Amino acid sequence: MEKRKKVLLGMSGGVDSSVAAILLKEQGYEVMGITMRLWEDNTKNNCFNIDIANDAKKVCEILNIPHYIMDCREDFNKYVVTDFLKQYSIAKTPNPCIECNRYLKFGKMYEKAKELGCEYIATGHYAKIEFSSKYNKYVLKKSDSLKKDQSYVLYSIDREILPHILFPLSKFENKTEIREIAKLYDLPVASKSDSQDICFIPDNNYVDFLKKYGKFNTKSGNIVLSNKTILGRHKGIFNYTIGQRRGLKVSYKYPLYVTNINKDKNEVVVGREEEIFSNELIAENVNFLVFDKLEKEIIFNAKIRYSAKEAKALISPLEDGNVKVVFNQEQRAITPGQSVVFYDDDIVVGGGKIK
């Protein structure tokens, strides 16, 4: 009898990862569940709390699979929270989920999987891993459910582990199907609501979090037009992001949007909406999933944030390892600290941080 292959499944106590466990068992894998303790215990916090751990444990008991809790607080603080604070301190707007996926969910968890003798790791992400004849290797692809596709936040993972990743939910078109499976197995999380906030920030109040944990210049400064006309005062540049309209508390003859944040002058620059549109950017910390590096300029689809639409773009290598991206169409509010991700049809080519 062929020995079943082992898989370590990240379990957040939600319905997606719970149904992923069911599907993996049905596919014949020997499943082990793991819940990563990433931040301080807090009942309002989505990273880790007693309810989350208990929900994951109950599901594992119902499905008769082992459940582990892995303390990753030190690494989470090092790779995710510290980076989050640093980026805001230099007037950038980070996406902490990307760092968490890279270093924790597809970094530390993969190391733990090898310790436990598992050939695979799995999560409840909506994405695909498939072998590509075009690139002659396993590649990351968009989920069948494009409305829930999460490939954007996965571009930074190590391409070497792609053959060892399973995404059991990749072919599901909507959440209703997922919940129906959970109900069939009488899972207590079948009707549990989805989390939408940044997981380690209660109530998604990132400003209070920055004030509590970061060492920021909270000194007030000028809100100015691009011609240096002073319109008012801001309450600390970390409160603002490119494209922001609400909360400026200054009035003018036309609606104002944040067009730039000048850290050196402690200024928030505002202007017309058309001033936040641009067609080019420089990306740093670039990670390619289908080749080692970009050798020559090439055209791919690209998008500048999770919710953005893709657009054709010319991607060109620079001598310092960064890449220049020039879009065919102007993009709204290209924001330093966010990521630009490149696609070849439904294949994730790679991506990088907007400089």
Residue 213 DSSP SS3? helix
Considering the candidates 47, 60, 100, 118, report the single residue annotated as catalytic.
100
Contact partners, residue 115, CB within 8 Å, separation at least 6: none
Active site residue 72: no
Per-residue tokens: 231: 């319109």
Considering the candidates 47, 72, 118, 199, report the single residue annotated as catalytic.
199
Active site residue 199: yes
Catalytic residues: 100, 199
